[in-house]
Amino acid sequence: MRKTNVLGLIFPNMHDEALRDLTAIRAFGSVPFAGRYRLIDFPLSNMVNAGVSKVGVVTKSNYQSLMDHLGSGKAWDLSRKNEGLYILPPFGATDESYSGRVASLAGMEAFFANSKEDYVVMSDCHVVGNIDYGKLIKAHTATGADITVGYIRGELPRLDNLMVLQADNDGRVTDITIENGGEGEGNFGIGLYVLRKDLLVQLVRNAVSRNQTHFERDILQRYVADLNIQGYEVTEQALVISSLASYYAANMAMLDGEKRGKLFLNERQIYTKVRDCCPAMYGLESNVSNSLVADGAIINGTVKNSIIFRNVRIEEGAELEDCIVMQGAVVFGGTKLGSVVLDKDVVVKESRTLQGYASFPIYIDKKSIV
């Protein structure tokens, strides 16, 4: 992909509160997905596919697993002598100010000054989608917008500080409201923005000088009448993760071949860290149907409509249906699990029964013994 004049920024800790159980030990962007991926793989791959060759990952806390996953950026062709992948740890940002994005941006002026790119594309990690960022960037320059905001038209997700847009016939945003716990339908922002780097720096300086910390409220909403803010509707399939139930639903959607095909495209691939491992092994008594099973798994029991990550062991006599089982988990015989999310390295002993529901799945913490 041809290099573009765009700098990428990814915020993997935004919306951590929406997945409190899963993000207690990891960043939102580091949450496992669909058997082998992490949520950050999607915005990072979208940027790389659009020709963005310099990407900064703005971390806050619990980023050890994220750094292990990203490494040098080789899997995304970002391991380079010049430009490439940058991990940007917090610099003088408190939890309160970081939640508004502005403080972390204010601590990155040196990074901006050392970057030659004229434009910045910023993305959060709570939307799973193969989005054509190249098309988004072209739309931004074609309209002459000061800021372009990516949005989805549909049912409002239940997220804190959700930005809801109103736009005129030309696509210019005329009104912005900030809502908590969405209800009904509308045009809602997905934490995806394009703007000039110098404009971003100036807007952040102005906000900091007024002790303002919230990017959407204190910058976008404040300047909606003064700046040309254009809305860009994301029409590609995009799954918004705003709760444990929506995370579970997004994973289960990958069992649908049509939905999976819309996400993993040949022309715009989704990249992730490669881990060499032996193929999955199926015992003589195993019974697996409509499931995604990653390499390294050993299946001797019954698995239906489930997502099985690497190095999972399902013993003979165990029955799993509608479950998500993360890396290294072990389920012993005689156990029956339904609509359960097992985090990494969980052990479920013999003859246990756990039954959740699609709207209220049961979650078991990492390294727990049930």
pLDDT in tens, 217-241: 999 999 999 999 999 999 999 999 9
Quote the pLDDT of residue 60: 84
Count Cα atoms within 13 angstroms, Cβ side, for 38.
24
CATH number at residue 113: 3.90.550.10
Distance CA 188, CA 151 (A): 5
In a domain, 275, yes or no: no
Contact (CB, 8 A) for 119 and 232 = no
* Count of structural domains within the chain: 2
Q: pTM for the full model?
A: 0.95
255 and 286, same domain (yes or no): no
| Residue 59 belongs to a domain | yes
Residue ending a domain, among 263, 295, 320, is 263
**H or E stretch including 260?**
helix 257-263
Q: Are residues 15 and 60 in the same domain?
A: yes
Q: Within a domain: residue 271? A: no
| Nearest Cα to Cα of residue 102 among 196, 16, 204 | 204
Same structural domain, 330 and 193: no
Domain end (from 263, 295, 312): 263
**120 and 209 share one domain:** yes
Q: Each residue of 134-161: pLDDT tens digit? A: 999 999 999 999 999 999 999 999 998 8
pLDDT in tens, 307-328: 999 999 999 999 999 999 999 9
**Average confidence score pLDDT of the chain:** 93
Q: Give a yes or no: residue 108 inside a domain.
A: yes
Instruction: Write down the pLDDT at residue 93.
Output: 46
| Reported confidence tier of residue 2, pLDDT bands at 50, 70, 90 | low
Amino acid occupying residue 75: A
Check whether residue 205 and residue 287 sit in a common domain. no
298 shares a domain with 237:
no
Residues 225 and 143 in one domain: yes
Question: What is the domain range of residue 133?
Answer: 6-263
| pLDDT at residue 92, rounded to an integer | 54
Paired tokens of 267: 């022309």
Question: Can you tell me the mean pLDDT for 78-104?
Answer: 75
Residue 1 is predicted with a pLDDT of: 46
What's the token pair of residue 23?
């993000």
Residue among 327, 358, 273 nearest 78 (CA): 273
44 and 137 inside one domain: yes
Is there a domain that residue 166 lies in? yes
Domain CATH number, residue 318: 2.160.10.10
Are residues 336 and 356 in contact, defined by beta-carbon separation less than 8 angstroms? no
326/323 Cα distance (integer angstroms) = 10
For residues 213 and 194, the model is more confident at 194
Same domain? 250 vs 317: no
Give the model confidence (pLDDT) of 328-361 as tens digits.
Answer: 999 999 999 999 999 999 999 999 999 999 999 9
Residues 114 and 240 in one domain: yes
User: Is residue 272 included in any domain, yes or no?
Assistant: no
Do 14 and 160 lie in a common domain?
yes
Most confident of 54-63, 207-216, 251-260: 251-260
Domain identity same for 223 and 311: no
The C-alpha R_g of the chain, in whole angstroms, comes to: 21
